[in-house]
Amino acid sequence: MAFPDIALVLPLAIGLVAAALAARLGGHRAAIAGSVAAGLAFLAYVLVSAGAEGGAAPASAFWSVPSLGIAGGLRLDGLSLLLALLITGIGALVLLYAGRYLQGDPRLTRLVVLLLLFMVAMLGAVTADDVITLFVFWELTSIASFFLVGYDHEKAGARKAALQALLVTGGGGLALLAGLILVAMAAGTTSLSGIIAAREAVLAHPAAMPAMLLVVLGCFTKSAQFPFHFWLPNAMAAPTPVSAYLHSATMVKLGVYLLARLSPVYQSEALWQDLLTGAGLLTAATGALLALRENDLKRVLAYTTVTALGTLVLLIGIAPDLSATAAVTFLLVHALYKAALFLVAGILDHETGTRDAAALGGLRHAMPWTAAAAVLAALSMAGLPPFVGFVAKEIVYEAKLATGGAAGVVAGIGFLVNAAMVAVAGLLSWRIFFGPRRPTPRAPHDPPKSMLAGPVLLASLGLLAGAAPGLVGAWLLDDAATAILGRPVEVPLKLWHGFTPVLAMSAATIALGLLILLGWERLMPRLRGVAAMDRFGPSRGYDRALARVIDFAEGTTRAVQHGSLRGYMRTLLLVAALAPLAVLLARGGVDLPESGGLDPRAFAFGLVALGAVATALARSTFAAVMAVGLVGFGTALVFLTHGAPDVALTQFTVEVLLVVILATVLIRLPVKARDIRTPRQRAGDAAVAVALGGSVAMLLLAVLASPFDPRLGEWFGENSVPAGHGRNVVNVILVDFRALDTLGEIAVLAIAAFAVIALLRGAARPLRPGN
Amino acid sequence: MDASLILRVSAPLLLWVPMAVSVYLLIRGHNAPGGGFVGGLVASAGLVFYAISRGQEAALRAMRLPPASWCGIGLLTALGSGLLAWLDPSAGYLTHRWWFPDISVTLPLGTALVFDIGVYLTVIGTITAMVFALVGEETG
């Protein structure tokens, strides 16, 4: 290994340091610093991967918790490298862009810091070689997404969208955690490479299928698969740089990433194939259809992202070698063109003041550079040669045609979906930048270089990669596909395949796409008019489910937290009375201890009984407190006469304090001296009291009747002096043998004290009489 | 509430006698009934009586530090007493160490007593914090 173990931690550390630095710098300079940091992290990954020897994936096991069976660590194989480079590379461009896009916005610093933290979480998630580490980073990306979607937190829509994204992906995250734990238990290791190596054991486990379903569910919510796709378009409430980064290029690919990562384990399972193929197809089709009925540029792009994610899941579900290469190629291509188009959409919004696709047109003269970037990216999206999008589309078609039985359906739907993508690509380039110039709220011109850099660079990369697909394949994609398949694969990527059926399909796709584009102006409103799509979508289901959860919570709160102190006390005491009785009955009744005759020391019990009766009969609360004190002193006497002077001493002191405290408090409380309960209430309270007393008495009798094991007491008695140098066994246990327990107890005491201070500081005043 | 003259005059006595008793209980606790917990309770009782007779302000002044600080110091003392165990690398945390200085009578001194002092201080802090918070300000 040419690099030390810690090398893979370096990019994460760079991100964290940059986040701290950005918080200090603030504003535009924070964005620059973040961009530089992301670039450095990119460089670090390139160096580490170049330094890897003999094809072995660099790994670092820099942390582990053996007692929990966690052997955490990071690992950088082909698939991780592909994603890490996308995350850091696009991250650098997006941060640069964001600094200008939101210049002057006081919240820019927060955005930059969140983006950097998100980047770190993403890098951790895609390089983690341990499912628990992966899960923690996975959830961190959801949390970062929550804050970024809710960037405009003063808008109700943004708050709702943020919560929706969090609940959907977080809910899926819970399923994922359960699934990963089951898988890890089956494999006997939490290490991802270990799980893949233990494929047979994972599949043979009785809970193998539930585990798989849970993991798939988690991945589907994260990658916005049908029926969870609805959160993604709503997440467009985030500023455009966030949408470009999180919700098209990186975070939503995390689910795809984990599916690809676990593909070596499950790829031969029929259920896995059916599930991924089915959900992928449905998602792709839904996304394409919904994209055509939107006119907000960002929502159009969001739905095409849904389509792309569906296609990726579909490709992972298809078994043959070709699909793995197709998946990684399409993943790269999509990240490049989609991020570019999102950034273009942001520029349009920024410069013209509108994101309505129908309101924009003929902008090529006003913003030539933006137009160039948009056209390049759109051509890649439409899959025209010589762009890398063409390479991807060809190989995706080939993979779909090789599906086997369902090839016709898969390729047919794929054809229609791709035609829709061609139409959308035309919409985003041709319609907006060519044709008649339409009036816009602001006079548009090209944005500054820092905003142009991202889209221009990403779109040009699409062209470059298309010109030399074999090079990209050998450098990045072969290794990534190998990771998905679990065996070496080498599919030479070519721009020109000759005149094949696939080429004919491509041509037909473009023709149909252009037809849709021409009819878009009429098609879009008509599709939009289909209200059923709004009424019966899963988005509605989410709203209803959420409303029901809130209703349920309100109902239980009303039932349980009714606000009556007497009611709370009654519930507590009844549970305390009935729980031991239930246990005793379940054990088959109570054994009574043998009676040893009347002990002269029993006089103390008489005192206790006297106190109890006096308490019950007391007319005023004050008298009742005093009488309860009598019970306590009687109990202390029992301790004293039965050989526990230490406990007795404590009991005496506690009783003194208790009576003093209660008396002092009672003097201050505006308590009515007279009992205001109705006879009925008094009878009910008496029943509760008798139940509790009876229950405790039974419990004590049962305890006395059970055999007593004196070994522990004897051991402490024998070892107290030699080991603890003390003759007071109780004290030696407290401060020596069980000192750690005592430490915990006094910590609890202190915490209780702080809680009382916090609770009563505000309430102290109303406790006074007269208030 | 105005305390009676008798109570006010005897207040210092009611403070210092329980204090002395509590320290006695604390120290002898290892070999006879007593210990940090009971000692702390007795000391708290003394402070609460003092607060009743002279006012909470006076009791807080007598304590020098706020009750929460007593809790903190107590916890740190107990925690710290365990750290000395690491003078012997093989011993676990909170393994007490003992010294037997030979001054006419053998006097066993150990970190166990330090731990108990921690308990004592924490108990005083807790009880006084709770009582003073419950009872509220006596004056102004």
Q: What ipTM did this prediction achieve? A: 0.87
Residues 6+ apart with CB under 8 A from A208: A186, A202
Does A731 contact B at CB distance below 8 Å? yes
Does B114 contact A at CB distance below 8 Å? no
Of A665, A735, A765, the CB nearest to B135: A665
Average pLDDT, consecutive stretches of 10 residues, N- to C-terminus, chain A (771 residues): 68 91 88 92 88 68 66 84 93 93 88 94 92 92 93 88 92 94 90 88 90 94 90 89 89 92 89 91 90 88 92 85 84 91 91 86 88 90 82 81 76 88 88 84 85 91 83 81 80 73 84 86 80 73 90 91 86 92 82 71 84 86 85 89 86 87 74 73 90 90 82 85 81 86 92 85 46 34
Work out the minimum CA distance from A19 to partner chain B, whole angstroms.
Answer: 34
- Mutation target to probe the A interface, by most A beta carbons within 10 A, among B73, B109, B122 is B122
Instruction: Give Cα separations from A449 to A93, A245, A352, A456 (angstroms).
Output: 11, 19, 17, 10
Spatial CA neighbour of A326 closest among A408, A403, A221, A216: A403
Cβ pairs A/B, distance under 8 A: 154
Does A656 contact B at CB distance below 8 Å? yes
The 10 Å Cβ neighbour count of residue A75 is 18
Residues 6+ apart with CB under 8 A from A739: B82, B94, B96, B112, B115
pLDDT of res. A56: 66
pLDDT of res. A446: 86
Work out the minimum CA distance from B88 to partner chain A, whole angstroms.
Answer: 16
Q: Where are the alpha helices (H) located in A188-252, listed in sequence order? A: 192-197, 199-204, 208-222, 231-234, 240-244
Instruction: Give Cα separations from A406 to A60, A309, A401 (angstroms).
Output: 42, 20, 9
Spatial CA neighbour of A369 closest among A464, A463, A452: A452
Cα B62 from Cα B41, distance rounded (Å): 17
Work out the minimum CA distance from A575 to partner chain B, whole angstroms.
Answer: 28
Closest chain A CA to residue B117? A735
Closest chain B CA to residue A656? B45
- Mutation target to probe the B interface, by most B beta carbons within 10 A, among A656, A664, A735 is A735
pLDDT of res. A163: 92
Chain B residues inside the 8 Å CB shell of A736: 96, 112
pLDDT of res. B3: 65
Three-class SS of residue B106?
strand
Q: How many CA atoms lie within 13 A of A721 on its CB side?
A: 5
Of B48, B52, B68, the CB nearest to A754: B68
- Mutation target to probe the B interface, by most B beta carbons within 10 A, among A731, A732, A756 is A731
Does B74 contact A at CB distance below 8 Å? yes
CB–CB of A265/A194 below 8 Å? no
- Mutation target to probe the A interface, by most A beta carbons within 10 A, among B130, B132, B138 is B130
CB–CB of A328/A79 below 8 Å? yes
Look at the block and give the residue holding tokens 């931690």.
Answer: A9
Look at the block and give the residue holding tokens 């197809």.
Answer: A281
Residues 6+ apart with CB under 8 A from B25: A649, B33, B34, B35, B38, B39, B42
pLDDT of res. A475: 81
Does A766 contact B at CB distance below 8 Å? no
Work out the minimum CA distance from A652 to partner chain B, whole angstroms.
Answer: 10
Paired tokens of A462: 């699409």
Closest chain B CA to residue A727? B31
Three-class SS of residue A296?
strand
- Secondary structure letter of residue A422 according to DSSP: H
Say if the Cβ atoms of A649 and B116 lie within 8 Å.
no
Reduced DSSP (H G I as helix, E B as strand, rest coil) percent helix, strand, coil of chain B, to 5: 70, 5, 25
Say if the Cβ atoms of A667 and B1 lie within 8 Å.
yes
- Mutation target to probe the A interface, by most A beta carbons within 10 A, among B14, B54, B71 is B71
Work out the minimum CA distance from B52 to partner chain A, whole angstroms.
Answer: 8
Does B52 contact A at CB distance below 8 Å? yes
pLDDT of res. A765: 44
Look at the block and give the residue holding tokens 């918070």.
Answer: B133
Say if the Cβ atoms of A650 and B74 lie within 8 Å.
no
CB < 8 Å from B in window 700-729 of A: 724-728
Cα A216 from Cα A259, distance rounded (Å): 7
**How, if at all, do strands B105-106 and A74-75 pair?**
unpaired
Work out the minimum CA distance from A665 to partner chain B, whole angstroms.
Answer: 6
Cα A739 from Cα B95, distance rounded (Å): 9
Indicate if the alpha-carbon torsion angle A314, A315, A317, A318 is positive or negative.
positive
Work out the minimum CA distance from A631 to partner chain B, whole angstroms.
Answer: 19
Say if the Cβ atoms of B75 and A747 lie within 8 Å.
yes
Of B32, B94, B110, the CB nearest to A728: B32
Q: Which helix (H) or strand (E) holds A409?
A: helix A407-426
Paired tokens of A89: 């590379």
pLDDT of res. A167: 92
Indicate if the alpha-carbon torsion angle A522, A526, A527, A528 is positive or negative.
positive
Cite the beta strand spans of chain B per DSSP E. Answer: 98-99, 102-103, 105-106, 109-110
Say if the Cβ atoms of B118 and A746 lie within 8 Å.
yes
Closest chain A CA to residue B131? A661
Paired tokens of A674: 């007279």
Closest chain A CA to residue B92? A740
pLDDT of res. A767: 38
What are residue B102's phi and psi, to 5 degrees? -95, 85
Instruction: Give Cα separations from A321 to A259, A317, A482 (angstroms).
Output: 16, 11, 9
Of B29, B42, B123, the CB nearest to A749: B123
Task: Report which of residues B99 and A355 the model is more confident about.
Answer: A355
Does B43 contact A at CB distance below 8 Å? no
pTM of the model as a whole: 0.73
Say if the Cβ atoms of B48 and A746 lie within 8 Å.
no
Three-class SS of residue A434?
coil
